[in-house]
Amino acid sequence: MTRRQFLLSSAVALMTPYYRARAAQIPKILRASKAKAQLAPAEYAKTDVWAFGETIPGTTLRIKQGETLSTRFQNDLPEASSVHWHGIRIDNKMDGVPGMTQELVQPKASFDYEFVVPDAGTYWYHSHNRSWEQMAKGLYGPLIVEEHNPPAVDRDELLVLDDWRLGDDAQISGNFGSMMDHSHGGRLGNWLTVNGVGMNEASLQVKAFERLRLRLINVANAHVFNLSLQGLKGWIVALDGQPLEQIQALGSNIVMAPAQRVDLIVDVVEKPGSMGQLNVISRGKQVPIFRFQVTGDQREKAMAQPRALPANDIPAITNLDKAPITELIMEGGAMGRMRSATYKGKELTTRELVQEGMVWSFNGVAGMTDKPLLKAKRNETVRIRLINNTAWPHGMHLHGHHFRQIHENGKQGPLRDTILINRSEQMEIAFVADNPGDWLIHCHMLEHQASGMKTWIQVE
Ligand code: C2O
Ligand code: CU
């Protein structure tokens, strides 16, 4: 190579994003145990948590699309647990739902998970037993399924958002199962972390016009994040792991229900020496929870608009007119009109239900039902009308499938596995039931799930 050629090729190297696909990282053993994490500022004690791999968030799992994820879940907790792989269109027996797809994994016992990851995107895993308590203590982690041809970005970064309810001693406050939380908006915290780092300290060093892929995951029990970005411009490219057919320019805010993910491709548009921010919007104020410190120049101007990510192979929704509609009527909660509901086969008054820890119902039934909400033939199109007759928003999650909202005019929304339905709202969702098995559908505000909001569907 002549000197001139060398200069040219190194100049090109400087101009081109260098995103290197990281090697697959799947530990042979995924261990859940007690651990300590510095969630609060350094002058406070570390917080006692429950964690996968002794870190908050839990060990990041990375794997290539189409590969087989295989890991042994080792339960070193003082309580039984299981692992649910949220958003993965998974083989039913690996879905991690105790009493439905597997037995509880008792303390000191283990369970071998092995499944193919069919879709590229941003997913996560979490405990699916007593999740309102186990997840509030930290039992979750990111699961990244890499595209075979990842988009041209300089960096691929995770932003895992959680809120914690901490006491003055920086320990997790123990009032789990409070009926006040259950009947209102769920257990809301008083301390936010990004990637397990407190909101005053979480940061990343970036360069001017550096292009970042940001993978946001809301792992909070019940907190709906209303976010804004400052000093970064770009696009939403995927929701709940699934690429948008058309990337969408970032607006003034991003709303994320519990369990939802948003993938962004953004360019740093601040100058060296200044700072970009991820904010939560709280009572009209922008409160920074993550900072992007600009330390130099990556390039002279922003790169061109990115292309949409390659679509995953999910069947298109067809024959909508012929598909029957199943209603899912949500009732209960504070300021609700629920007078009674069936619980474990008995009709109970609201007062009797509260004694059982139940405050919400789906179609007049509180808690798990013997019969599924619906039975679908394989590859049948399923339509569900969600009717929120409560005074609260809910983040509804379907296991094993991604669905689309069907708007009044017939337009189909983006693929999602969790959708926010506001108080008194009604919406229709539809999907092709191509994944055989029994699948939960529940509110991902974990206190609502625990106190009534869950049912299931059966795909032949
Ligand atoms: Cu992420 Cu049944 O849950
Ligand atoms: Cu809910």
pLDDT digits (tens, 9 = 90+) for 107-134: 999 999 999 999 999 999 999 999 999 9
Residue 200 is predicted with a pLDDT of: 84
Same domain, 411 and 430: yes
The answer to whether residue 21 scores a pLDDT higher than 60 is no
* Ligand 1 atom at minimum distance from 449 CA: 2
- Judge whether 21 lies within some domain: no
What whole-number percentage of the chain has pLDDT above 90?
92
* Ligand 1 atom at minimum distance from 259 CA: 1
- Judge whether 449 lies within some domain: yes
How much distance in Å is there from the Cα of 244 to the middle of ligand 2?
Answer: 26
Same domain, 289 and 168: yes
The bound ligand whose nearest atom lies closest to the alpha carbon of 442 is 1
The bound ligand whose nearest atom lies closest to the alpha carbon of 445 is 2
Q: What is the mean pLDDT of residues 339-345?
A: 96
- Judge whether 141 lies within some domain: yes
Same domain, 288 and 341: no
Please say whether the beta carbons of 446 and 452 come within 8 A: no
How much distance in Å is there from the Cα of 345 to the middle of ligand 1?
Answer: 25
pLDDT digits (tens, 9 = 90+) for 167-225: 999 999 998 999 999 999 999 999 999 999 998 899 999 999 999 999 999 999 999 99
The answer to whether residue 15 scores a pLDDT higher than 60 is no
Residue 197 is predicted with a pLDDT of: 97
Q: For ligand 1, atom 3, which residue shows the shortest CA distance?
A: 86
Same domain, 128 and 164: no
* Ligand 1 atom at minimum distance from 124 CA: 1
Q: How many CB atoms lie under 10 A from the CB of residue 216?
A: 23
Same domain, 324 and 443: yes
The answer to whether residue 11 scores a pLDDT higher than 60 is no
Domain boundary among 127, 146, 165: 146
- Judge whether 4 lies within some domain: no
* Amino acid residing at 83: V
Please say whether the beta carbons of 360 and 332 come within 8 A: yes
Same domain, 223 and 292: yes
How much distance in Å is there from the Cα of 44 to the middle of ligand 1?
Answer: 32
pLDDT band at residue 24, thresholds of 50, 70 and 90?
low
Edge-to-edge strands of the sheet including 83-86? 61-64, 140-146, 121-127, 83-86
pLDDT digits (tens, 9 = 90+) for 365-414: 999 988 999 999 999 999 999 999 999 999 999 999 999 999 999 999 99
Domain boundary among 106, 127, 146: 146
Residue 206, classified by CB atoms within 10 Å of its CB into exposed (0-12), middle (13-18) or buried (19+), is buried
How much distance in Å is there from the Cα of 227 to the middle of ligand 2?
Answer: 20
**C-alpha dihedral (79, 396, 248, 434), degrees to nearest 10:** 90
Q: How many CB atoms lie under 10 A from the CB of residue 4?
A: 8
- Judge whether 199 lies within some domain: yes
Same domain, 113 and 193: no
Task: State CA 426 to chain mean position distance.
Answer: 22
Residues 6+ apart with CB under 8 A from 361: 330, 331, 332, 338, 341, 342, 452, 453
**How far is residue 298's CA from residue 207's CA, in Å, rounded to a whole number?**
5
Q: How many CB atoms lie under 10 A from the CB of residue 1?
A: 8
* Ligand 1 atom at minimum distance from 86 CA: 1
* Ligand 1 atom at minimum distance from 97 CA: 2
How much distance in Å is there from the Cα of 181 to the middle of ligand 2?
Answer: 11
Domain that holds residue 121: 29-146
Q: For ligand 1, atom 1, which residue shows the shortest CA distance?
A: 86
Same domain, 163 and 271: yes
Q: Could you tell me the two tokens for 442?
A: 């529940």
Q: Could you tell me the two tokens for 357?
A: 């820890």
Q: What is the mean pLDDT of residues 128-154?
A: 97
The bound ligand whose nearest atom lies closest to the alpha carbon of 132 is 1
How much distance in Å is there from the Cα of 333 to the middle of ligand 2?
Answer: 9
* Ligand 1 atom at minimum distance from 126 CA: 1
Domain boundary among 263, 297, 331: 297
Same domain, 293 and 161: yes
- Judge whether 216 lies within some domain: yes
Q: Which residues pair with 226 in a beta bridge?
A: 255
Residues with CB under 6 A from ligand 1: 84, 86, 126, 128, 259, 397, 399, 440, 442, 444
- Judge whether 310 lies within some domain: no
Kindly report whether the peptide bond that precedes residue 57 is cis, defined as omega within 30 degrees of 0.
yes
Q: Which residues pair with 184 in a beta bridge?
A: none
Please say whether the beta carbons of 104 and 62 come within 8 A: no
How much distance in Å is there from the Cα of 86 to the middle of ligand 1?
Answer: 6
Residues 6+ apart with CB under 8 A from 99: none
How much distance in Å is there from the Cα of 64 to the middle of ligand 2?
Answer: 33
Residue 99: CATH number of its domain: 2.60.40.420
Residues 6+ apart with CB under 8 A from 329: 362, 363, 364, 387, 389
Please say whether the beta carbons of 192 and 289 come within 8 A: yes
User: What DSSP character marks residue 104?
Assistant: -
**How far is residue 131's CA from residue 210's CA, in Å, rounded to a whole number?**
38
Angle at 257 between CA 442 and CA 115, to 5 degrees: 60
Same domain, 442 and 350: yes
Same domain, 160 and 289: yes
Listed residues: CB within 5 A of ion ligand 2: 394, 443, 445, 448
Same domain, 60 and 134: yes
Read off the pTM. Answer: 0.95
Q: Looking at the 3D structure of the chain, how many domains does it have?
A: 3
- Judge whether 19 lies within some domain: no
